[in-house]
Chain A
Amino acid sequence: MSNFSTGENESVRVFNEKEARRIAAEIASYMRPERSLYIMVSSWWGAGQRWARNRASLTSDQREISIIVGRGRAGRVERGRFYLNATTNQLDSVSLKGIAQHIELYAKRSDNKMPPDMIVDVPRSDVKGANVWSDETFNRSVVENATAVEELTRLSENDQLMSSGYLETTGSGSLEYIRDNWGRVESQWGLVTQAVCSATVRHPKGTASGWAGKTSFDMNRVDVSEVAKIAFEKCKKSLDPVRIEPGRYQVILEPQATAGLIDVLISGLARRIPEEMGRGAMFLGIDNAIRRFRTKLGLKIVDERISVFHDPADPIVGSHFAPLHGRRDFIKNGVLTGLFNDYQHNLNEISEGLPLYRSSSYTLNGGNTTFSDMISSTKRGLIVSRFTQIQVIDPDSVLSGGLTRDGLWLVENGAITKAVRNFRWTESPLFALNNVEQIGIEEQVFDPVSSRNPFANDSFALSLNNVVVPPLKINDFSFTSTIDAI
C-alpha cells in the first residue's frame, strides 16, 4: 500500500499502525496514569468525483486527521461519541498536550460525580472481524474515475438527459485505545476502504428523474456504468408522471426503499429507552410483579419470514474493528431476540460479560421471489425506487412520514403501466413488516457514510452503514398526499 509513510511537512493519506500507536502513547503520557482514558486516532483520505449537467463539476482529494481524547462515564455511551472530550487534527506536541490537559482539567472536576466505570471489555480473541480493506479502492486513480464519469455523462448527453452524481473512494485507519480505572489497556487498529457511487439522471425540463446508487468497501463491486445505466433507464421510464389518488396501495419496495423505511426501526432496537423510560416501539408495558418496564424481547413483532441480524465477520457487512462479539440476531423469524445494549444503562450486564453492541450495519434476510415475479403477480400496486426525508412522527409506534423520490410506477395486471407523481406517505415500518406479501432476493444497498465533517461527527472513520436488504411487496401502504417535486 502506497503512501503510508509519514512526512515531516506533507500530509499522508492514511497513518500506519505504528504511527497511530506512537500518537496515542504520546497523549497517554501527558495524562495521569491512574485514570481511565479513551483515545481515538484516525486518519482518512477521500477522492471525490462529482458531476452535474453531463460534465465533471469537481474532482477532489481530501485528507483528514482526527484525534479524540475522552474520559469518564459518558466516554463509551456510543463509540467515539461522548460528552467530555477534546479533539484536534494536529499532530505536534503542543496540540496533543493541549487536548490531554483539557481532559485532565475537567475530568478532575467531575471525578466526584462520575463513578469509576470505564471498563475494558471482556476478552474476545475468538471473534473475528472482516477484511473490509481493498487495495483496488485505495489505489483507484483519479484518471479511472474521470474516465468512468466521462463515459456515462456522454451517454446521457447523447440522449439529451442531464446526469449528475458522485463517485467517491475513501480509505481510513483508526486506532482505538482504552485504559480503564484499573490500568488495563485495550487497543485495536482497523483499516477500512469504501467506494460509493450514486447518480441522478433528469430530463432537462425537470419532468423525469431517476436515481441509482451502490456502496461497497471494494471498488470492484461498484460498477459505475451499471449505476449510471439504472439511473438513466429509470429517468426514461419516469417521463411525464401522472397524478393518481393518494390512498392505500400494495407496494413493491426496491431494496433501497426497504432500507429507508426500516432504518428508523433498526436504529430504535435499543434497550435503554424501553427499560429506563418506558417508551418507544420496543416497550411492552410495566411488569407489576418485579416493578420494572418490560421490553418486547421474546415476542413476535413482525412477519415470521423476517429476520434481522449482523455478522461482523461477513465479508460484505462486516466491521473493520475487531467486533465485540460474533453474529447477533435482533429479529429471528419475526421474534424480537436482541436489543442493543447501551454502555451507560446496561453497565452491570456489560461488566458481567454481556456484550455492548452497536452497529448501524445489518442484514435483513431475503426470500426467493424475483423482482419480475413480484411485478407479474401484482394486480394493482406501486413500485417504489426509494424514500427520502423520512422522519419519525410517533416514536411509540415508529409511525413515520416521508416522500417517494426518483421513480414511482403504477403496476396494473402484472405490468408497469405508467409513471406516477411522487407521494407523501405516513406509515409505520412495524405495520409494513406485518403486512409482507412477498420477499425478494437481498442485496447491498447504497448507504454512504453520512458526514465527514469532524465537527459534525467525531467518529467519521467508523461510521460504516453496510446494509443488505431484499425488495419487499407490502400490502396497504399508506400514501397521504401527492407532492409536486420530481
Chain B
Amino acid sequence: MYDRKQLKKKAEKARDKKAAIGPDIDLDEFDDAPVPHSYLADEDMCALPESDQKRLIMAGMDVTQKDRGGTYFQKDTEVIHCHSQQEGIEVIPIKKALEKHNWVEEYYWKLVAVDADKYTAAAELGLHDGYVIRALPGSRSIYPVQACLYLDKDGLQQNVHNLIIAEEGSELHIITGCSSSLHMKRGIHVGISEFFIKKDAKLSFTMIHNWAEDMVVRPRSVARVEEGGLFLNNYICMKPVRSLQMYPTSHLVGKDAIARFYSIIVGSPGSEYDIGGRIFLKKPGNRAEIIARMISNGAKIINRGHLIGEVPDIKAHLECRGLLLNGGLIHAIPELEGHVDGVEMSHEAAVGKIAQEEINYLMSRGLSQDEATSTIVRGFLSVDIPGLPPQLKAEIDKAIEESDKDVM
C-alpha cells in the first residue's frame, strides 16, 4: 500500500492556505464526516426515485447505463456503484486503487500540488473517494464512461480525487456530472482531477455541473498531454451555485499535442463564477484553443484564459464571448504570453447584448420577439466541438435545451 505520510505532512502545512484566486471559504462551516450509503446493484440504480433520476440525467448520468461504457457513482462520501462494461477500460474507486495497485503512485498528486491551497490539502487529509478511469494501450472506448459525484447530505464537505489515464494510442470519452439532490441546500465540493494523456491518445472529458443555490465548488485540475495526444475538455454549468472557482491547467509536453477547452456558463442571480483555463504550449506543433460562452442573468462571472507559448511553431487561440441578458457582471480576462519568435497566438473577447438586427431578421421570417431571442441565445451557446462522439454532443444539446427554459 502506498505510504502517503509525506503527502499528508505537506498537506498539513497548507491546511489554512488561501487559494490564489476566488473568495476564501471557511471549511469549518462544513462537515466532512463519512456518510454511509449502501452499494447499489444495476437493478437498484434503476429503482432510484424518479426525482433523483431526473437530477442525475441533467448531469449526464443515465441510471439505465444504456450507451455507457462504464459507471462510477459516488453519493456523499461513499461509492455506491462502480463498474466497467468495456474491454480495455478500467473504472476503480481511488481508495481501492491506492490500496491495491502500485502503479497509482505514478499518478497520484503528480500534477496538482497537494499543498497548492486549503482545498488540495483537505482532499488529501480527508479524502472520501474518487475515481480512477484508465484506458489501456490501444483501447478505444465506444461509449462514454459516466461518472457522477452526488451530494445529498446538507452541510457536507465532499473531498474527491480523480485520476484519468489514457494510455498510449487509446481513445477515452468521459462524461462526468456533479449534482446535488433537490432537498440539499448547502455544501462544498472539493474535486482534484489529474489527467494523463499519453502518446497519440485521445481523451474527451465533458463535465456538467448541476448544483444548488448555496453550494461552493472548488475543482482543482491539471492535465499533461504527450506527443500527438489530444485533450478535449468541455465544461457546462447552467444552474445556480453560490461560488464556483476553478482554473484548470494543461501542459502540452510532447510535440503535436493538442488541448481544447470549451465552456458554457449560464449564470443565475446571486451566483458567482470564477472560471478559466490555462494551457502551456511547450513543444513545436502544439495547438491550443480555449473557447468560452457565457450568459449572465444577474450573476457575477469572471472568465480567465491564459495561453503560454514557450517554443516556435505553436498555435493558440482564445475566444471569450459573453451576453448580459438580465444584469450582473461579466469580466473577461484573456492573457497571451509568447516567449519566443515564431509563436502564433490570438484572442477575441466580446461582452454585450443580443444584436437587435439579428432579432429583427428572425422576426421577418415570422418568429415572435421571444422566439427570435431564444433562438439566438440557443445558437450562442451551441459551439461546435470537433471530435466529440454523437452521444456526448446529444447530452450537451440536451443540457442547453433544458437551460433554455430557465434563461427565458
Answer yes or no: are A and B bound together in one complex: no
Chain A residues in contact with chain B, CB under 8 A? none
Residues of B near any A CB (own CB < 8 A): none
